[in-house]
């Protein structure tokens, strides 16, 4: 595995890369509050059959984290940077793995360039109303009536115990190590982290508004899709996985006995699903 950075519009983007470049590319798109480190176990499983690329978005992991007063923290803008990142690396067609925040970024790319998508893995990467758990009811009220008080309240998402709970919730004891959440907690100490991420929490409403667009893409292009879902996730609940089958006859659904970060405990199973379906 190699660890690299590239300049995208004057900002450093960090990425992990493995596998030979002549192999089909697999783009791995992480979620919140993590980084490309999420894929540290999966990448070695895929690297003999794919050219694997996992970037850190602007504001995440080892990539640049400008202040929200200097950078527009929206999902459209994060997509733009991933888009230009791929262009600079000369990556045209690719499979993609989308998790959490990676889902709107990945599906934004799919809507822009449907001809480039070879296949999709959605691991708790929601694009359906059916997949929104109860916590989103409060978020919708915040989006409709934003106040400074609510913005401060939602900064609890960055608290160490919240992050740890996201990793361990819905998992069997002893199946998730501390490495992932400990690193994520470290990154919350970056300057302006809470304000930058608060902008993204508020902008998440744009992703929900785009759900019909993502669903239309699925209906029209019917990509091969694996929905590998932690069925105990309270944030993106498992009906969101089953909903893919409404619009995409090439979707297969696998409900795994884990939570939001099910890749931490089931990376072998998810990796094998990918290899069984697409490895040549």
Separation between Cα atoms, residue 114 and residue 152, nearest integer Å: 38
The dihedrals phi and psi of 67, each to the nearest 5 degrees, come to: -65, 150
Separation between Cα atoms, residue 18 and residue 16, nearest integer Å: 7
Dihedral (Cα; 246, 139, 28, 266), 10-degree rounding = -80
**Radius of gyration from C-alpha coordinates of the chain:** 17
Closest CA to 227 of 83, 105, 157, 131: 131
Q: Which residues contact 263 (CB under 8 A, 6 or more apart)?
A: 38, 39, 41, 42, 99, 123, 270
Residues marked as catalytic: 260
Closest CA to 75 of 201, 261, 260: 201
Separation between Cα atoms, residue 17 and residue 55, nearest integer Å: 9
Separation between Cα atoms, residue 16 and residue 55, nearest integer Å: 6
Q: Are 79 and 31 in contact (CB under 8 A)?
A: no
């Amino acid at each position: 595995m190699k660890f690299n950075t590239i300049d995208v519009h004057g900002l450093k983007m960090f990425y992990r890369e493995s596998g030979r470049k002549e192999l089909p590319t697999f783009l791995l798109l992480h979620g919140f509050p993590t980084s490309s480190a999420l894929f540290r176990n999966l990448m070695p499983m895929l690297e003999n059959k794919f050219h694997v690329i996992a970037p850190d978005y602007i504001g995440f992991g080892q990539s640049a984290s400008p202040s929200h007063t200097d950078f527009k923290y929206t999902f459209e803008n994060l997509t733009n940077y991933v888009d230009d990142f791929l262009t600079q690396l000369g990556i045209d067609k690719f499979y993609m793995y989308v998790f959490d925040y990676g889902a709107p970024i990945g599906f934004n790319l799919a809507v822009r360039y449907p001809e480039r998508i070879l296949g999709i893995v959605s691991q708790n990467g929601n694009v359906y109303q059916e997949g929104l758990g109860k916590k989103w009811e409060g978020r919708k009220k915040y989006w409709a009536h934003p106040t400074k008080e609510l913005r401060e309240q939602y900064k609890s998402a960055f608290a160490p115990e919240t992050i740890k709970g996201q990793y361990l919730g819905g998992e069997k004891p002893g199946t998730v190590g501390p490495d992932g959440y400990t690193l994520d907690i470290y990154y919350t100490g970056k300057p302006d982290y809470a304000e930058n991420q608060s902008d993204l929490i508020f902008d998440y409403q744009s992703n929900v508004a785009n759900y019909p667009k993502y669903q239309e893409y699925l209906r029209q292009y019917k990509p091969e899709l694996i929905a590998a879902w932690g069925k105990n996730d309270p944030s993106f609940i498992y009906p969101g996985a089953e909903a893919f089958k409404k619009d995409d006859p090439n979707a297969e659904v696998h409900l795994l006995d884990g939570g939001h970060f099910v890749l931490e405990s089931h990376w072998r199973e998810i990796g094998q699903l990918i290899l069984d379906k697409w490895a040549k």
